[in-house]
């Protein structure tokens, strides 16, 4: 049964419509004599279709259609028009009415068909609009996914290229490193030799030493050599990290004690940590995890050093022993639902909303030039992913916690 609201001020016309529709047991007709009464009626009871006259005491013409479609867009409208009102009827359809009927040509057959089709058409249009909206959304999602794929493809290429370059750099780097060591040794010998030169007794030698600023050269040389060695070590670090981008899967798996791994990483990082932060352990008894402990240690090291940097940002660099450092790094382990959960928490400066979406991007860093490569977290997340694990981050201005989750069941390695 289709519920029809008839809005018609002329009782004779209303009677006629009801009479025509009553013959069919398809319609249940309610009657309102004005637009306001019609709107009230629609508010109080659901309705499948409105049949509205375009001349009402409180509103006239196309405005009636506009008011109804605006207030009840889900209800189809058929309008009743007088003689010679074709223009008005077409305008009504443009504004959203489904059909029109001329009052002086009304008959039961045409009216019933018009109303039934109006309801069907309205439903179909509604479905089409919904389908279009969901297609548009799918299209947007597809475009996003495509962009991400392109981005990942680019990153994979950059990763491969970088690993190749890193490999190339590594070879000259190894002799640069060893030559620097030799130079340091040669310099020491030269220094010893120069100290024995009888400068006072030989004015030419003395003059040459002054002109060539030999005293300054001798003083500066060790610093220059040490700086060069630091630079070489840094290049070595970068190459090492870049190479990790392309390593496939984890080959050497052993059953490792994660608590022991964490403690040993803290010991290795102790020099960087000791003045900045107090380490607070909360370690549960854990079953062994099948993993590559070296790789996981590298992840722990990255997270610990990031925490130290965040603490330095907040409280400044301690540099020497203080009774109780302000920094805190909490290391917690748990076994939960067949997984090992590791949380590394700090009370550093936190990660801002602008920075957070980028922290896992390769080469993204907020640290000063030369301090961070921005590879720490991207390499870490890669290692965690290759262990079938997850890495999550929660942050606030009070600090940050990185949570690592690894399944205990034997991971399927790629």
Ligand X SMILES: Nc1ncnc2c1ncn2[C@@H]1O[C@H](COP(=O)(O)OP(=O)(O)OP(=O)(O)O)[C@@H](O)[C@H]1O
Q: Which of 101, 297, 306, 405 binds ligand X (CB under 6 A)?
A: 306
Q: Identify the bridge partners of residue 5 per DSSP, sorted by sequence position.
A: 30, 50
30: Cα within 13 Å, side-chain hemisphere: 20
> Closer CB to ligand X, residue 162 or residue 307?
307
Judged by beta carbon distances under 5 to 8 A according to partner kind, the member of Mg ion, ligand X, none in contact with residue 98 is: none
State in angstroms the smallest separation of the CB of 318 from ligand X: 17
Phi first, then psi, for residue 340 (nearest 5°) are -100, 125
Q: Is 381 near ligand X (CB under 6 A)?
A: no
> Closer CB to Mg ion, residue 298 or residue 306?
306
Q: Taking each helix axis as running N to C, give the angle between helix 108-196 and helix 214-244, from 0 to 180 degrees, rounded to the nearest 10.
A: 150
Judged by beta carbon distances under 5 to 8 A according to partner kind, the member of ligand X, Mg ion, none in contact with residue 333 is: none
- H/E stretch holding 193: helix 108-196
Residues of this chain that bind Mg ion (CB under 5 A): 306, 376
Contact assessment for residue 333 and residue 300, using Cβ atoms and an 8 Å cutoff: no
> Closer CB to Mg ion, residue 159 or residue 376?
376
Q: Which of 101, 162, 307, 405 binds ligand X (CB under 6 A)?
A: 307
> Closer CB to ligand X, residue 56 or residue 344?
344
Cα 6 from Cα 50, distance rounded (Å): 6
Cα 337 from Cα 114, distance rounded (Å): 62
> Closer CB to Mg ion, residue 65 or residue 344?
344
Binding mask 341-380 for ligand X (x = CB under 6 A): -----x-xxxx---x---x----xxxx----xxxxxxx--
Strands 399-407 and 339-346: antiparallel
Cα 391 from Cα 343, distance rounded (Å): 10
Of 364, 414, 370, 362, the residue nearest 388 (C-alpha): 414
> Closer CB to Mg ion, residue 292 or residue 302?
302
Stretch 284-303 residues interacting with ligand X (CB under 6 A) = 302
Q: Which of 75, 115, 244, 310 binds ligand X (CB under 6 A)?
A: 310
Judged by beta carbon distances under 5 to 8 A according to partner kind, the member of ligand X, Mg ion, none in contact with residue 345 is: none
Structure tokens at 315: 């409280």
Cα 236 from Cα 184, distance rounded (Å): 19
Q: What is the DSSP letter of 318?
A: -
Stretch 201-240 residues interacting with ligand X (CB under 6 A) = none
* Chain residues that interact with ligand X, rule: CB under 6 A: 302, 306-307, 310, 346, 348-351, 355, 359, 364-367, 372-378, 400
């Amino acid at each position: 049964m289709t519920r029809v609201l008839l809005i018609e001020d002329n009782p004779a016309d209303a009677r006629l419509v009801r009479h025509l529709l009553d013959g069919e047991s398809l319609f249940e007709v309610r009657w309102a004599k004005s637009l306001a009464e019609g709107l009230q009626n629609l508010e109080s009871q659901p309705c499948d279709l409105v049949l509205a006259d375009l001349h009402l005491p409180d509103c006239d013409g196309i405005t009636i259609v506009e008011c109804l479609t605006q207030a009840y867009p889900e209800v189809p409208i058929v309008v009743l028009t007088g003689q010679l009102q074709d223009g008005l009827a077409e305008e009504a359809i443009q504004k959203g009415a489904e059909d029109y009927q001329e009052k002086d040509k009304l008959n039961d057959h045409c009216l019933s068909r018009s109303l039934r089709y109006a309801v069907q058409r309205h439903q179909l249009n509604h479905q089409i609009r919904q389908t279009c909206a969901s297609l548009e959304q799918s299209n947007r999602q597809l475009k996003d996914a495509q962009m991400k794929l392109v981005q990942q493809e680019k990153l994979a290429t950059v990763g491969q290229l970088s690993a190749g370059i890193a490999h190339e750099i590594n070879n000259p780097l190894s002799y640069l490193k060893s030559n620097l060591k030799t130079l340091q040794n040669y310099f020491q010998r030269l220094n010893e030799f120069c100290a024995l030169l009888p400068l006072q007794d030989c004015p030419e030698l003395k003059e040459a030493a002054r002109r060539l600023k030999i005293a300054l050269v001798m003083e500066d040389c060790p610093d220059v050599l040490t700086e060069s060695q630091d630079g070489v070590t840094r290049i070595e670090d970068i190459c090492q990290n870049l190479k990790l981008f392309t390593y496939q899967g984890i080959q050497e798996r052993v059953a490792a004690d994660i608590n022991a791994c964490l403690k040993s990483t803290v010991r290795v990082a102790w020099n960087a940590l000791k003045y900045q932060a107090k380490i607070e352990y909360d370690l549960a008894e854990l079953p062994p995890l099948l993993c590559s402990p070296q790789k996981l240690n590298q992840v722990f090291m990255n997270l610990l050093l990031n925490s130290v940097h965040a603490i330095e940002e907040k409280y400044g660099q301690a540099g020497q022993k203080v009774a109780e450092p302000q920094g805190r790094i909490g290391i917690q382990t748990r076994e939960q639902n067949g997984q090992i959960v590791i949380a590394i928490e700090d009370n550093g400066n936190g990660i801002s909303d602008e920075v957070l979406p980028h922290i896992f991007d390769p080469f993204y860093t907020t640290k000063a030039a030369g301090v961070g490569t921005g590879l720490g977290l991207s390499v870490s997340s890669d290692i965690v992913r290759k262990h079938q694990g997850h890495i999550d981050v929660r942050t606030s201005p009070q600090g940050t916690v990185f949570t690592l989750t690894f399944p205990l069941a034997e991971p399927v390695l790629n």
